[in-house]
Structure formats: C-alpha cells, structure tokens
Structure 1
Amino acid sequence: MISRRAWLAGAALPLLPGCDAPAPPLDGGFVGASAERGHLLRTAVAQAPARTQRTRVLIAGGGVAGLAAARALRQRGMEDFVLLELEDQAGGNSRAMQLQGLPCPLGAHYLPLPTDAAREVQDLLEELGLRRRVAGRWEYDERHLCHSPQERLYRNGHWQDGLLPVQDIAADTLAQYRRFAARVAALMRSAPFALPAQRAAFTAEHAALDAQTMAQWLGREGLDDAQLLWYLDYCCRDDFGAGLASVSAWAGIHYFASRHGFHAPGDADAEREAVLTWPEGNAWLAQRLAQPLGDRLRCGRVVRRIATHRHGVAVQALDLGSGQLEQWEATHCIVALPVFVATRVLADAPAFVHDAASALLYAPWLVANVHLRAALADRGGAAPSWDNVVYGSQGLGYVDAGHQGLGQRRPDSPRVLSWYHALGLATDARSALLQQPWQHWAMQLFDELGAAHPDLRDKASHIAIARYGHAMATPVPGLVRRLRANPATPRAGALLFAHADWSGYSVFEEAFTRGHLAGLAAG
C-alpha cells in the first residue's frame, strides 16, 4: 500500500484503503482568503501616497459588518462613502466559489431564522424578499429554507436522523438530556439571553457562567454522559471554533438559550430549528449586500494606517492592483476590521481597543470543497441530508452544497461536498494550518469521512481548501464580561468600531447588527 509520505509528495495516485488499484487522480490546492495579503501589514512600505482622495465616510473592512454599515448609510440617503476590502471579494467569512461550475461556500453556510431581538436582520430578510407578512404572520420563502432531510449523524455503522445521538442510547443518557434541557430552560427564565447578545442585560448570573468553562459548569451540574458531552462539544466547535474545555459556560448556554432552547427526544417542543441556506452559503446574502455599492466598494486594498486629526481621519491603503499607496481623507471611519488588525493599523489605538485585543483569542478554521464525479454510496439508516456529521470525529462533518437545488440530480451527476474543520485553540494550530500542504488536509478529510463513505476517495476529482488563520473569536471565560463594558457601538471621536469581535464570538447576526448601528451613527 502506498505510504503517507508518497501521498503527501505526489497526491495524484493514492491507493484506496484495502485495495490494490490506485484511486483516480485528485487535483487540489488552496483557495480563498490570502494569508500573504494579510501579512503585508507586517512589512514596511517606504513610499508616499500616490494620490489623496476624499469621502465623507470610509469603511475599513468588507466583511458582513462593513457591508451592513454601507447598507445603513445608503438607507440614510448617504452615498458619499467608500469601503476598502482586503480580498478580491467582499463578505469575510461569508464568501463563495464555483468548483467545476458548481457553487459552494467558502465559509458560513446558513442563517437560523432570526428572533425578534435581531430586528435589523429581520428587516434585511424582508428587503431581500425572504420573508413577508401574510394574514398577520411572518412567512418565509420556502425555496430558501433548508430542504428536508436537514441533518443526520453517522454512529455505530449507520445514519440516524438529527445530530443529537438518540438511537441505542441508555436510559441514563436520556435522563441527562432531559436534565440539561431543564437547566437551559431555567436559565432562559432567570437570566434571559438574546441574539445579538447586547439586546439582553448582562447579569450576575451571566457573569458567573462567563467566569468558568462549559466543561467546568457541566461537571458541577453532574452532566457527564459521553453522548451529551460529544454533542455539546460539537455545538461549541461549530459556533465558537473550540470545544467545551475552552469556551465559557456563558457561550455554551447562549448557543441554545438565545434561540429556542435545548429539547430532549420526545419533548413536545422538540422541533428542529429552521435555517436559511443556499448552495453558496451565506455568500448569497453578502453578494446582495455588495452588489448595490458599485465602485464605492474597492477590493484588493490593504488598509495599513488609520490616523485621526483635527478635521477627521486619514486612511492609507495599498492598492494591490497598482502597487501604489493611496490616502483617503474622511470625516468618519468605520473600523469594521478584526480587533487584532485594528490595533496594528490604528496610529494611536484607544485603550479599550488594546484591552479587547489582549482578551480575544481566535480559532483557525479550514473549509474544504470536494468535487465528486457522482453520488456517494450510502450506509443504512437516515437518508442523505444537507448536513452530515460523523460521531466522534474531529471535524464538523460536511454539507451537501447542492442540497438546495430544485431540480432532480441523477446519481451519476457531479456534486460538491463542503467539509468544515475547526482547529481549536492549540498553540500550534495556526502554524499547522499555514504550513501543511493541501494534501495533508485532504488526507484528514478522507480519513474522517471514509467510514461512512468508503467510495469517497474514488469519486473525488478535485479539492479546494480555504484556510482562515483567525477565522472567529472564541468566547473564552471572562471575555464577554470585559467586552460588555463597551457601548453597542464603540467609538473614539471620528472612529466607530463594528465587527463581531466586539461581541466575543462570530456569527452573522452579531456582525450585521454592529455594522448597521455603526452606519447609523457615522457621518
């Protein structure tokens, strides 16, 4: 059998596990966000600005927060603004690509139906035609809701419906599911949570949860069932990039309590949460936020310096297309950058920005899109779903990027699977992400999913891997308490700050709301 060394060196003809025949060639490589571009911040640019331009509001950063700020400015009738974005495509963690002609996500791939606390997101969905009021009730366009079957779990050699282990579980496991559900329900009553988080008061009870890890809180509650712990660890890695031993109990409870709680099997309210999703993931939303901006959106710009002066703000950015340094003079600057980047580019960063940067930790992520020549053979149990997870795996499973298609797919038609892997907060995780060749991550993908799909490698023809060295802020103990000392829109004179980092965790609702509020306050 071919060795791992040969796999990493050539990657063209690895053998199938247990077979003598070589697998078909596999093309692949890295795509998406460029670490090299981001690292340009570390190098000096010994040149004067080639030109100086003026605008009323300068938005630094074209992720969801920056795009939301631009939309809010336009809603106010303010068109004199410019948005500078590092990459060639706006959207941050909500970007997409096409692999062999098929759309697929490079990051976030769904949006839960927003609660009433996320009214800005609700307004956006109404504007985009995703929901409307019928007979006094809100109805969502079912074409954009996740099609059934929604999710399944591979465990004990077969697939089960849903991600919470429910088949062949002991009575003690079910009892712990119910105890955890009761504790979440009790906390929802005594210390309400909201999404975005700023819409709920941060109480002493919240502070006590924020002071410990989720693992510590579960231990004190006597919740130690292996199935429950795996599921909760999966949820934390999915939303926060790290597991129970890293994230705070506030974050672990918030995952459920800010939405619709946790429901044990058999509960009357145990209905699966509806989500909006598209073949390209949340890029569907980002693209519609970016499209109206026209030439006000300037991609391929490395924001290198933001300095305030008596008349406003001066922003210097390297135009990667021309290689020239440009300067922008603005009345206000919305800093929609990750906080660790903001501290690098601000000429004199306020103390509260340095304080936030010292508290924030970022989890690296990897998203791999695999092009398949045909449908995979399936193990027994639940039918192929949109979200497919392997119990006990280090990754987060895969999404069928074509699941939302309205047409019929022939078994022999090509398709794309999107595999997600959060690397956690290990000290070497980020360097491994950047230093390992793409074949290393491809091997991990095939190792993880091979038990459920033994023909995966044989049907894979191309793999495109997106790396995010600082993908998401992880809400470790003590973080939320420190960040909640800041107002909903942190600001310092002509500078306004808008990024999901200021909430301590990275989800669409937080980024969009903070960007929207900054857009209302600027200018």
Structure 2
Amino acid sequence: MQGGWVGTHPERGHRLRGTLPPTGDGPVRKTHVLIVGSGIAGLACARALTQRGVDDLALLDLEDQAGGNSRGHTLGGLPCPLGAHYLPLPGAQAREVNELLHDLGLARQHLGRTEWDERHLCHSPQERLFIDGQWHEGLLPPAETPSALAQYRRFSQLVDDAQRNMGFAMPSRRAPWTAYHDALDGQTFATMLDNDGLDAPRLRWYLDYCCRDDFGADAATVSAWAGLHYFASRHGFHAPGDETAEREPVLTWPEGNGWLAARIAAPLRDCIHLGRTVLRVSEGRHGVDVVAWNEATQAPERWVARAVVMATPLFISARLLASPPEALRGLTQPHAPWLTANLQLREPLLQRPGAPPAWDNVRYGSMALGYVDARHQALDPTPRAPLLTAYVALPEAQRGALLSQPWQHWARVVMDDLAGTHPDLPAKVERIDLCRFGHAMSIPVPGLRGSPALAALNDTRGRVVFAHSDLAGYSVFEEAYTAGRLASQRLSL
C-alpha cells in the first residue's frame, strides 16, 4: 500500500520550541499591513482590507498552501479535503459569512428570500449511522427504550428553551452573555447532563460525538455552554419521531471547505507568501518588525510593517510577540490534535444492510468520527475508484504519538476502525494520504469562553491585533471568518 504524510510541516512550527535559526542579515521588505497566518481568519482580514482600498499588504504562512484547517488536497486526480468539509447555512447573525457566500455566487436574494445554488448543497442521502448491524438514515441513534426516548425529548425541549429564551448565535460574539451563560460555562456538559438525569447511553454517545466533531473533545471535557451552543446556535435538536424535523442543509464540495479557501485566496495570490515561518514580532515606536524564516531558501527575512494582524492560534501569538499583552500571557487554552486520512480504493465497498451510501457515514460506538465520500458531490458520472476521507479527533495525550509514530501506524489505526463497518476495506486500499494537525481545534473547556482574557483579546486595538477562531474558544469557519473581518476594523492604519 502506498501513502504518506501530506499537508502540514510540524517541524516548521516546532522551530519555536528549540533554538531559533540565525535571524540577522536577512533582506528587508516593507509593507503597510502584514498578516501572520493565511488561514480563514487571515484571508478574511486581507479580503476586508483590500475591499477598503488597502492594497499594500502581505500574508505570511509557514505552510505551502493557504487556508489553514480548510485546505484541500488531490488524490488520484480527484479533489478531497484535508480538514473542514462543510459549512452549515449561516444564520442572520453571521452577516460577514452571508456576504461572502453571496459574493461567491452561492446564494442570491429573490423576492426577499435567500436562494441557494443547489449544486453546492449536500446531495441526498446526507448522513447515515451504522448501528445494530445495519445502516440507519441520520446520525442520531434510535432510542433503545421508551425511557430513553423520553430523555431525547427532554433534551430537545432544553435546546428549544435555550434557543428561544437564552440567545445563542454563530458567531457567538453576536449572542448575549448573561449570568446563565456564565453558569453554563463554569461546568462541563457532562455534569449538566448528569444533573438533568440525561444518561441514556445512546443519547450520551451522540452528544459526545457532536462535541468531538466540533470541539475535539467529549462532553466530560467541554463546557455546558459549548454543548448547548452546538445545537442552539444552529439547527436545534430533534428527537426521533419529531415530524417538524428536517435535515440540516449544509454547503459542501469534494475538497471540503478548501473550495471556499481557494476562492478567498485567489484575488490575494500576489500578496500571499508561503513557506515563511515567522519567528519574532516586535512592536516599535513607529512600526512593527517581523522576522521570518524562508523555508525554500533556508534564510531569514525581515519585514517592516505599519501594522500587524496575528492570525495565528493564540498560544503561537504568545510565543511570537516580543511583548505579548497580559491577557495573552495569562491565557490557558487547550487544543485537540486531529488526523485526516484520504483513502483511494481500487473498487467499491460491499454494501451492508439498511440505508444506502451517504455523504457522511459514522459507526455507533467508534471513537473516530467516520468518513465522508469525497465523490458524493461530483457531478461527473465517469466511474472512478472510490475516495473516502476519514476523520479522527485524538486526545491531547496522543499529540506526541501523532508526531513520532510513522504514517503506516496511523494508516493502520484508520483502516482498523473503518473495517468495523467495512471488513473488505483494508484489502481494497490503493493509497492513503494522511494529514496531521497537532493543535487543530481550541477545546472550549469550562471557564474559557467567558474568560476576561478572551474578552480583552477580542477588543485589542492598535498596530497589533488578533484574528483567529481561538478568540471564540472553539474552531469553526464562521468564527474564523468573522474574527478576520472584525480585526481589520481594529487596526491603527
């Protein structure tokens, strides 16, 4: 079997943990605004600045492709995701995201309503769950007993009440923050569920799955605010038998959110400088001095800018800044490691009983997050070998193993898990490309979302400002894009 690591270069980021390369005598380049990081937040900030007429700017990124956790990949000539693979239709509070989607032609206004381009909405069937020896439509497990069904309905009512009365929105900065939200943020989601008597095993597995999918950790780790926010800021929670329930419409593409990242980055291509590992950011009296390591030339570069946007994870910003603000120095923010595997198969998989193949496919009881079919959205009817993208959110304790173990080890971990649903899969894998993110997702542990440190960093103004989904306490496209747009307004230019 062929395969290997793709997409990320951990050794570049780890320069900051050891002895830094020599930084003197590098060429000096000047720019009006320099953005450190070309993930979604950095790209959004650059897009906003160019729309305001700021054309003298530069983005530096240590990787060889812009887009951060939303980058795409190609395997066997076919596009596939390396990270985020869908975007829920944004609500009214996600004004910046709505504007972007209209600008990209994904949506249009007609007779006062938003119409979506159906080519980019997830095609049916959308989701299925393997449980009790067969596939079931949707990811919510069937309730095993009448008392379990009653718990499903109680949790549904709890989410409905939160939506109507407590205010949840995405991005979360557009929602109120009250003593009620603070109390939720002060306990784990599992504690809240235990106190409410919501302990049905299948319900709890599903809620754990949802938390690991968005936050990289289970209900015993994330805050109750985060657990409720997952449902109350989006589509709610619908118990089995709820006749009003409709599947949540999402936008997706064969390369996942790499489709979005590529189109945001395209007009900015001349100012994006890839393979630059930033080593130091120093704010002076008249500007900001940035030292970077050019990975292609293996030589230092010095950049001088009037203003800098730190579009990097906050713990990275704390290491890069010569004088980080007090809020940044005192912030503790754990991050989940993440593994994505794209598998090219020689032939189709044997079908198991139940619901037909879907875009998103999950096995009940698995600690992995299942797989999506990268060809599900393809309009080309030409027969091709199947291409699956599997996702694994790892415990923080396995970050070291993700770095040190060879790709063959993690390929076997992925295939062994998928074999629980498809025993014929391992023999049909032709190639597997794996992508590792050591610090992929901020975990919204109790006390993080409502911390004074995050509030202060969200409001930082001046020549150095911050723009990253970390500012929301968790990692999704809507938070990152909004953070980038708003950061552009806080800069002193």
Task: Give TM class, smaller chain.
Answer: over 0.9
The alignment's TM-score, normalised by the length of structure 2, stands at 0.97
Structure 1 residue 169, shift from structure 2 partner:
2.6
Question: C-alpha separation between the residues in 2 aligned to 1:46 and 1:217?
Answer: 51
Question: C-alpha separation between the residues in 1 aligned to 2:116 and 2:398?
Answer: 40
Identity of matched residues, %:
55
Q: Which residue of 2 aligns with 1:466?
A: 435
1:230-259 C-alpha deviation (Å, 9 max, x unpaired): 000000000000001100010000000011
Q: Which residue of 2 aligns with 1:441?
A: 410
3-state DSSP of counterpart to 1:407: coil
1:423 alignment partner, one of 388, 394, 397: 394
1:293-326 C-alpha deviation (Å, 9 max, x unpaired): 1221000001111111111211111111112211
Report how many residues are paired. Answer: 491
Q: Which residue of 1 aligns with 2:385?
A: 414
Structure 2 residue 302 is the aligned partner of structure 1 residue 366: no
1:103 alignment partner, one of 76, 79, 97: 79
1:97-139 C-alpha deviation (Å, 9 max, x unpaired): 1111111100000000000110100000000000001122100
Distance 1:485 1:85, change over 3 A: closer
Range with greater deviation from structure 2 (46-55 or 248-257): 46-55
Question: C-alpha separation between the residues in 1 aligned to 2:64 and 2:420?
Answer: 38
2:451 alignment partner, one of 478, 482, 489: 482
Unaligned regions of 5+ residues in structure 2, if any? Answer: none
Structure 1 residue 41, shift from structure 2 partner:
1.8
3-state DSSP of counterpart to 1:306: strand
Unaligned regions of 5+ residues in structure 1, if any? Answer: 1-25
2:136 alignment partner, one of 160, 164, 188: 160
Is the contact between residue 114 and residue 121 of structure 1 (CA under 8 Å) also seen in structure 2?
yes
Question: C-alpha separation between the residues in 1 aligned to 2:148 and 2:381?
Answer: 40
Structure 2 residue 215 is the aligned partner of structure 1 residue 240: yes
Q: Which residue of 2 aligns with 1:494?
A: 463
3-state DSSP of counterpart to 2:182: helix
Query: Letter of the aligned partner of 1:439 in structure 2?
Result: Q
2:225 alignment partner, one of 234, 243, 250: 250
3-state DSSP of counterpart to 2:69: coil
3-state DSSP of counterpart to 1:317: strand
Q: Which residue of 1 aligns with 2:123?
A: 147
The alignment's TM-score, normalised by the length of structure 1, stands at 0.92
Question: C-alpha separation between the residues in 1 aligned to 2:351 and 2:415?
Answer: 15
Structure 1 residue 492, shift from structure 2 partner:
5.1
Instruction: Map 1:82-161 onto structure 2 (within 5 A).
Output: 82-161=58-137
Q: Which residue of 2 aligns with 1:332?
A: 307
Q: Which residue of 2 aligns with 1:391?
A: 364
3-state DSSP of counterpart to 2:68: coil
Query: Letter of the aligned partner of 1:46 in structure 2?
Result: P
1:121-159 C-alpha deviation (Å, 9 max, x unpaired): 000000000000112210000000000000000011100
Q: Which residue of 1 aligns with 2:6?
A: 31
2:476 alignment partner, one of 507, 515, 519: 507
3-state DSSP of counterpart to 1:333: strand
Question: C-alpha separation between the residues in 1 aligned to 2:441 and 2:382?
Answer: 35
Structure 2 residue 345 is the aligned partner of structure 1 residue 377: no
1:270 alignment partner, one of 242, 245, 249: 245
3-state DSSP of counterpart to 1:245: coil
Question: C-alpha separation between the residues in 1 aligned to 2:388 and 2:486?
Answer: 36
Instruction: Map 1:217-366 onto structure 2 (within 5 A).
Output: 217-356=192-331, 359-366=332-339
Q: Which residue of 2 aligns with 1:78?
A: 54
Is the contact between residue 433 and residue 467 of structure 1 (CA under 8 Å) also seen in structure 2?
yes
RMSD between superposed Cα atoms in Å: 1.3
Q: Which residue of 2 aligns with 1:177?
A: 152
Runs of 4+ in structure 1 deviating by more than 6 angstroms, as ranges, are none
Range with greater deviation from structure 2 (284-293 or 37-46): 37-46
Is the contact between residue 187 and residue 223 of structure 2 (CA under 8 Å) also seen in structure 1?
yes
3-state DSSP of counterpart to 2:161: helix
Query: Letter of the aligned partner of 1:376 in structure 2?
Result: L
3-state DSSP of counterpart to 1:132: strand
Question: C-alpha separation between the residues in 2 aligned to 1:110 and 1:460?
Answer: 25
1:372-431 C-alpha deviation (Å, 9 max, x unpaired): 112111101001000000000010000001100113354xx3121000000123xx3101
